[in-house]
């Protein structure tokens, strides 16, 4: 790796924006996952896709 | 000072945007602007020719929706080729510089098509999408993602041989880009269910 | 006759417990449909990149067969997921789909698209490799790529039309349309 180019503007901006966007999107999807599990538990009494004891 | 700003304009720009977003949230500007946007959405649905076409001719609306899906599919194809190459999963025998440069124009054209058809689709149901959180998440991700691709990712990838970029930065860019366009597509699909 | 048999089969499917569960589950239908649509980005996305390469629109400096070979696996993976979710979607609402003109046209276009893909693939394998590094593929392959693009755009459009009710059985009176959509009861009533 070229040492002089190691941490220039483009790379710092790429890492900064990448970490922020990735973090925000992961936060969003984990939150969505949690609320989905809560809703399914509320609807079916436990985390199931269907209201049928024979099916997961 | 000026030379520092011009040498680091992307980093400084990112820091300024971040600061502005934090300030706007702290001062609750978003919450105060939101009600004022409703008349524009109502106008888009009831008075604009886009809204008129979309609500009057169902077949036109469905055809444009299909165009929106096809544009998103092409975006998916370019993202798949570029980002899986950056992750070292696909096209390992072809330099990633070639794949990145060769698909970007196609990405830009399909993004423009997706946005144009998306505006038409949103106009037809503007009074509905205004109240949907998932719509705003999609818009925010689309805006952020487009800026990320055009002002951050592509300029870095086209500025030098990829061997001169830390591999973890390439991986970060690829994973972020995949998650951005997955989110745009998934939230878009969820608008239809809400 | 075929319409009656299809409708009977659809009614039999619809009466099954699992079919009803897929529709009535909190998220099952939405997740299935969302997976089916989102996988477009992998399957049709890859396919279009291959077709665009044949036409010289993307990656003109990469050999065309290399693009086709490397994207083959993700494309097939995407189509397999779409195929499975598609079957489950039809299983969840069999009567609605069997009596949908758009669904029937979609199946016909799918069949044509697969035949075209098979011919395209055979032509690509049989062609003299000297064109591989050219900016655009030879005319027969370009024609195949354009037909592929048109057919798959048609498949996506027909898939998008299925939820709309313009030509539902209770909306049309034209006997040809009723027959094409498989509206058995309405045809018998005429």
- Tallying the residues shown for chain A, one arrives at 56
Chain C residues touching residue A43 (CB < 8 angstroms): 26
For residue C62, the model assigns a pLDDT of 93
For the residues B181-186, what does the mean pLDDT come to?
Answer: 96
Its domain, for residue B66, covers 38-193
Q: Identify from B8, B10, B19 which residue to disrupt to test chain A contact, counting A C-beta atoms within 10 A and taking the largest count.
A: B10
Asked, for residue B27, whether it belongs to a domain, the answer is no
pLDDT in tens, C153-174: 999 999 999 999 888 888 888 8
Q: Which of B58, B70, B78 sits opposite C156 (nearest CB)?
A: B70
- Distance, first Cα to last Cα, chain A: 51
Distance CA B171, CA A18 (A): 10
Quick check: B125 and C71 in contact, CB under 8 A? no
pLDDT, tens digit, for every residue of A2-45? 544 568 899 999 999 999 999 999 999 999 999 888 888 888 77
- The answer, yes or no, to whether residue B104 has pLDDT greater than 80, is yes
Tokens 């705003």 found at: B136
Nearest to C74 by CA among B88, B180, B80, B171: B80
Is the CB of B103 less than 8 angstroms away from the CB of C33? no
B72 lies in some domain? yes
What ipTM is given for this predicted complex? Answer: 0.92
Could you read off the pLDDT of C42-88 as tens digits, one per residue?
999 999 999 999 999 999 999 999 999 999 999 999 999 999 999 99
B170 lies in some domain: yes
Domain count for chain B, please give it: 1
What pLDDT, on the 0 to 100 scale, is given for residue B8? Answer: 85
> In chain C, which residues have their Cβ closer than 8 Å to the Cβ of A52?
17, 21
Q: Has residue B179 got a pLDDT over 80?
A: yes
Count of CB atoms within 10 A of residue B81's CB?
29
Burial B139-160 (b: 16+ CB within 10 A, else e): eebbebbbbbbebbbbebbeee
- Of residues B85, B130, B132, the one with CA closest to residue B104: B85
B156, B180, B181, B184, best to mutate vs chain A, most A CBs in 10 Å: B156
Q: What is the dihedral of CA B113, B119, B121, B122, to 10 degrees?
A: 150
How is chain C split into domains, by residue range? Answer: 2-189
Residue B29 is assigned to a structural domain of this protein: no
Per this entry, what is the length of chain B?
194
Residue B163 in any domain: the answer is yes
Q: What confidence score (pLDDT) does residue A55 get?
A: 55
For B40-62, the pLDDT digits (tens) are 999 999 988 999 999 898 899 99
Evaluate whether C51 touches C148 at the Cβ level (below 8 Å): yes
- Contact across the interface for B77 and C45, Cβ inside 8 Å: yes
- Mean pLDDT throughout B151-163? 95
- Residue A9: which residues within 8 A CB-CB, separation 6 or more? B7, B8, B9, B10, B11
In a domain, B159, yes or no: yes
**A35 near B CB under 8 A:** no
- Measure the CA angle with vertex B108, ends C157 and C62; round to 5°: 95
Token reading at C115: 């035949």
Question: How much of chain B exceeds pLDDT 90, in percent?
Answer: 87
The whole-angstrom separation of Cα C75 and Cα B81 is 11
Of B69, B186, B193, the CB nearest to C156: B69
3-state secondary structure of B90: coil
Q: Tell me the C-alpha distance between C153 and B67, whole Å.
A: 8
Question: Would you place residue A53 in the very low, low, confident or very high pLDDT band (cuts 50, 70, 90)?
Answer: low
* DSSP code for B150: I
What mean pLDDT do residues C120-139 have? 85
Contact residues for B67 (Cβ-Cβ < 8 A; gap 6+): B113, B117
Residue B183 pLDDT greater than 60, yes or no: yes
Residues 20-39 of A with CB under 8 A from C: 36, 39
Q: Tokens in use for C122? A: 């055979």
CA nearest to A4 within chain B:
B164
- Chain A residues in contact with B13 by the CB 8 A cut-off are 13
Under an 8 A CB cutoff, do C26 and A55 touch? no
Q: How far from B137 is each of B121, B123, B145, B184, B190, CA to CA, in Å? A: 16, 17, 12, 8, 11
Q: Give how far Cα A48 sits from Cα of A18, A33, A56, B77, Å.
A: 35, 13, 6, 34
For residue B179, being part of any structural domain is answered with: yes
Mean pLDDT of B93-101: 95
In angstroms, the Cα distances linking C105 to B73, C97, C109 are 21, 11, 6
Instruction: Give dist(CA C49, CA A18) in Å, integer.
Output: 26
What pLDDT is stored for residue A1 in this prediction? 47
d(CA C178, CA B79): 43
| B20 falls within a domain | no
CB-based contact C26 A43, cutoff 8 Å = yes
In the prediction, which pLDDT does C129 show? 72
User: Are the C-beta atoms of C115 and C10 separated by less than 8 Å?
Assistant: no
Q: Which is higher by pLDDT, C115 or C26? A: C115
pLDDT in tens, B1-28: 777 777 788 999 999 999 999 999 899 9
Choose the mutation target among B6, B8, B11 for the interface with A, i.e. most A CBs under 10 Å.
B11
Put simply, the answer to whether B14 touches A17 (Cβ < 8 Å) is yes
Q: How far is A3 from chain B (nearest CA, A)?
A: 9
Predicted confidence at residue C133, as pLDDT, reads 85
Comparing B121 with A54, the larger pLDDT belongs to B121
Q: Which residue has the higher pLDDT, C132 or B15?
A: B15
Average pLDDT over residues B145-164: 95
């Amino acid at each position: 790796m070229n040492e002089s180019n190691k941490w220039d503007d483009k790379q710092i901006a790429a890492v900064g924006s990448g970490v922020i966007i990735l973090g925000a999107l992961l936060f969003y999807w984990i939150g969505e996952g949690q609320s989905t599990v809560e809703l399914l538990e509320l609807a079916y009494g436990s985390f199931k896709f269907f209201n049928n004891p024979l099916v997961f | 000072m000026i030379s520092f700003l011009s040498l680091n304009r992307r980093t400084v720009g990112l820091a300024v945007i971040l600061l502005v977003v934090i300030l706007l949230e702290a001062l609750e500007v978003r919450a105060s602007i939101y009600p004022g946007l409703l008349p524009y959405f109502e106008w888009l649905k009831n008075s604009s020719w886009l809204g008129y076409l979309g609500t009057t001719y169902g077949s036109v609306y469905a055809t444009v929706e299909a165009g929106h899906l096809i544009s998103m599919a092409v975006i998916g194809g370019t993202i798949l080729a570029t980002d899986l190459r950056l992750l070292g999963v696909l096209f390992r025998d072809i330099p990633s510089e070639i794949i990145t440069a060769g698909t970007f124009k196609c990405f830009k054209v399909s993004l423009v098509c997706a946005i144009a058809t998306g505006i038409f689709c949103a106009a037809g149901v503007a009074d509905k999408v205004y109240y949907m959180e998932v719509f705003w998440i999609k818009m925010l991700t689309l805006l952020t993602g487009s800026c990320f691709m055009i002002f951050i990712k592509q300029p870095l990838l086209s500025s030098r041989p990829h061997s001169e970029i830390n591999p973890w930065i390439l991986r970060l860019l690829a994973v972020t880009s995949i998650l951005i366009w997955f989110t745009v597509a998934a939230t878009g699909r969820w608008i239809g269910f809400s | 006759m075929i319409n009656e048999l299809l409708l009977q089969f659809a009614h039999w499917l619809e009466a099954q417990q699992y079919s009803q569960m897929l529709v009535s589950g909190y998220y099952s239908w939405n997740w299935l449909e969302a997976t089916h649509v989102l996988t477009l980005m992998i399957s049709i996305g890859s396919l279009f990149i291959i077709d665009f390469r044949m036409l010289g629109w993307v990656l003109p400096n990469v050999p065309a067969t290399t693009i086709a070979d490397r994207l083959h696996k993700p494309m097939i993976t995407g189509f397999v997921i779409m195929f499975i979710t598609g079957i489950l979607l039809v299983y969840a609402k069999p009567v609605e789909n069997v009596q949908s003109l758009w669904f029937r046209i979609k199946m016909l276009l799918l069949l044509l698209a697969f035949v075209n893909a098979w011919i395209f693939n055979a032509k690509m394998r049989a062609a003299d490799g000297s064109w591989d590094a050219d900016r655009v593929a030879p005319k027969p392959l370009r024609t195949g790529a354009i037909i592929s693009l048109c057919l798959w755009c048609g498949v996506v459009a027909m898939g998008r039309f299925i939820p709309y009710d313009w030509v539902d059985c209770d909306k049309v009176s034209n006997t040809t349309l009723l027959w094409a959509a498989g509206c058995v009861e309405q045809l018998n009533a005429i």
